[in-house]
Structure formats: structure tokens, C-alpha cells
């Protein structure tokens, strides 16, 4: 397990519960050693005991060499650098999975595209995604995710390792849809947060979530994602959770922007990476590149990156011409 933030720690706990041996590494050595010594991740999950059966390893190479497979749980901006560091250490049969959501900053590539370029063609790849707040997984509350990738054998191995107790792991092969759903929902969570921060009501929130799903589906069609993937856990499921749950950092960013805070102030108060900031720019770029109409994404990108006023953004959405809901 590469990454000992809230999500990496929560997944290590779930692997341990399901009877799978896990090794936890993080680039923040100081915090990692505190976790090892106290058996608590005070920074991210302060109230959760970490059993001795979870191995804490501060040496990245040693952690990779000791594992059967690798699961990355890092911010998307650190994904490529970690892959580059470990690729020479991977054993021939060692697969690489990740539970991070977003795009590679700068290139706008989905993470499976980054991994495919940097790793040997023979390396099995998979993504773990779906509606899953780290704190609730750590608390052993019921959760369902999907594990997706082209190698059905490796996908099954990863799903079996995680599945157990109150945690269900489904499987699939549509990596594009699984990754796209997890990235686009971050933008829509910012949008619904802005809506709620401005106290626009439950009707408006429901409309934003539904029309946000429509934007996700249109972009997915252009990128050859399967519609059933985007209507499942990786798409609609994650979208609903992130747009309505206050544990979502993207929703929290939107709430603060809707209440009049600046982007810099909001991000500082949240104190952790907010993937929706980068995702807004990348999803908007993809929409323009493929000629996809994504008005909610356009407004969120403008508010975050161009300093647009949230009230004016809402007004622009409401001023759009009447149209058929499904493009008939």
C-alpha cells in the first residue's frame, strides 16, 4: 500500500480485516514513523487503531519487493513519480492497482494512460473506485466499490483481497469509464457545494447532480466509456456520495466558494489535496477538445481558475435556452 493518508490507511485496514497481509508506506516518513510507534494515524484518522498485523515500512523499495502486488493511494499529481520510482523494482508477476482519482496535471491523461506508458506492457493494471469515504471504511461501515481493469485474473485477485465483512468489491473491465466517473464527479461535487453554500435549495442540488451525470455520460460516450459503468458505482454512485456527503473535500471546497471565500482561503482551510481543482480544468479541456457541451463544468472551471463570481455562474446556467432533456 503506497500512500498512508486517510484513504490508504483505510484500505490497509480493510485488507487486514479481509485476511490479506498489507504493507503500508508513505513519502512522509515522519508521519509514517509516528503511525508505526503509536499505531494511530493521528493526522488523517486519529480515532482509528491500526493493528500490529499491518506492517509499516519506511523504505519504498523494500515495501514493493516484499509485496505480491502494489496498490497506489496517492494524490494524482504524485502518481507518475511513484510509478517511475518503483517500475525497476517490480517482479514479473507483480500487478499495479491504484485507488486515486483524477488526471495527470499538465497532460490531462487518465491515470491508466500514465501507468501504461511508464510500466512494461506485461504489467497487470487495475483501479479501485466507487462511493467510499475513507473515514467510513476505516470505521468498518458498509461500503461497495468496483475494481476494474483489462486483466480479469488480476482484477479478481485485487477484488478478493479487499472483499469481506462489510466491504463489497465488484469487478469490471471498463477502466476508462471507471476512471472518468471518479474524476468528473469531483467537478460536480464542487458545483453542488457551491449551490448549497449559496443556499439555493434541495431542488437545485438534485438538478445539478442529475445534469452533472448527463455531462459525465456525454463525455464518457466521446471517450468510449461504457454507459453501464457510468451508471454504476464508479459513476453515479460516486457522484451521489461526493455531491451530498460533507466528508467530501470537493463538496467542502464548493461550500466555501458559495459562501464567498476565495479559492486560496478555502483550500488552505481544507488542508488536504482537493482533486476537483485540477479536474475542473482537465474535464473542461476534454469537453472543448471533443466538442462536448458541459455547461456545469464550464462554470465550475471559470469560478476556480478564472475568478468568476459564483452568483453569475448560476445565473448563466439558468439563462440557457430551453431544450429537450435527452437531446431528442
Positions marked active-site? 185
Bridge pairing between strands 40-41 and 45-49: antiparallel
Closest Cα to residue 169, out of 93, 295, 71? 71
How many of the other CB atoms lie within 10 Å of CB of 224? 10
| Cβ–Cβ < 8 Å for 17, 164 | yes
Closest Cα to residue 12, out of 180, 128, 178, 153? 128
E strand or H helix at 110, and its extent? Answer: none
| Cβ–Cβ < 8 Å for 99, 112 | no
Closest Cα to residue 191, out of 18, 96, 70, 314? 314
Q: Residue 232 to residues 110, 120, 238, 246, 314: CA-CA distances in angstroms?
A: 19, 30, 9, 21, 28
- CA–CA distance, 306 with 289 (Å, rounded to integer): 19
How many of the other CB atoms lie within 10 Å of CB of 46? 8
E strand or H helix at 127, and its extent? Answer: strand 125-129
The residue written with cell numbers 466538442 in the block is: 291
Amino acid at each position: 500500500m503506497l500512500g498512508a493518508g486517510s484513504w490508504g490507511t483505510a484500505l490497509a485496514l480493510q485488507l487486514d480485516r479481509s485476511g490479506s497481509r498489507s504493507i503500508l508506506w508513505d513519502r512522509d516518513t515522519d508521519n509514517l514513523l509516528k503511525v508505526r510507534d503509536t499505531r494511530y494515524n493521528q493526522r488523517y484518522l486519529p480515532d482509528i487503531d491500526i493493528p500490529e498485523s499491518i506492517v509499516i515500512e519506511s523504505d519504498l523499495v523494500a515495501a514493493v519487493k516484499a509485496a505480491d502486488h502494489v496498490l497506489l493511494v496517492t494524490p494524482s499529481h504524485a502518481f507518475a513519480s511513484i510509478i517511475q520510482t518503483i517500475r525497476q523494482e517490480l517482479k514479473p508477476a507483480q500487478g499495479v492497482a491504484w485507488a486515486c482519482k483524477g488526471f495527470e496535471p499538465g497532460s490531462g491523461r487518465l491515470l491508466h494512460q500514465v501507468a501504461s506508458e511508464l510500466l512494461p506492457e506485461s504489467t497487470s493494471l487495475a483501479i479501485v473506485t466507487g462511493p467510499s469515504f475513507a473515514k467510513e471504511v476505516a470505521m468498518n461501515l458498509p461500503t461497495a466499490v468496483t475494481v476494474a481493469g483489462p486483466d480479469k485474473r488480476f482484477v479478481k485477485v485485487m477484488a478478493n483481497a479487499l472483499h469481506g465483512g462489510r466491504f463489497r468489491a465488484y469487478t469490471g473491465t471498463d477502466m476508462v469509464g471507471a476512471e472518468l466517473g471518479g474524476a468528473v464527479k469531483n467537478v460536480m461535487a464542487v458545483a453542488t457545494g457551491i449551490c448549497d453554500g449559496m443556499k439555493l435549495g434541495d431542488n437545485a442540488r438534485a438538478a445539478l447532480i442529475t445534469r452533472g451525470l448527463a455531462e459525465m455520460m456525454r463525455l464518457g460516450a466521446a471517450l468510449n466509456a461504457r454507459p453501464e459503468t457510468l451508471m454504476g458505482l464508479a459513476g453515479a454512485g460516486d457522484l451521489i456520495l461526493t455531491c451530498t456527503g460533507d466528508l467530501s473535500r470537493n463538496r467542502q471546497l464548493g461550500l466555501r466558494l458559495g459562501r464567498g471565500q476565495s479559492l486560496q482561503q478555502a483550500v488552505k482551510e481544507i488542508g488536504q489535496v482537493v482533486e476537483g481543482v485540477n479536474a475542473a480544468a482537465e474535464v473542461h479541456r476534454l469537453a472543448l477538445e471533443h466538442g462536448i457541451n458541459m455547461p456545469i463544468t464550464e462554470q465550475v472551471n471559470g469560478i476556480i481558475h478564472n475568478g468568476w463570481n459564483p452568483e453569475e455562474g448560476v445565473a448563466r446556467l439558468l439563462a440557457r435556452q430551453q431544450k429537450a432533456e435527452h437531446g431528442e
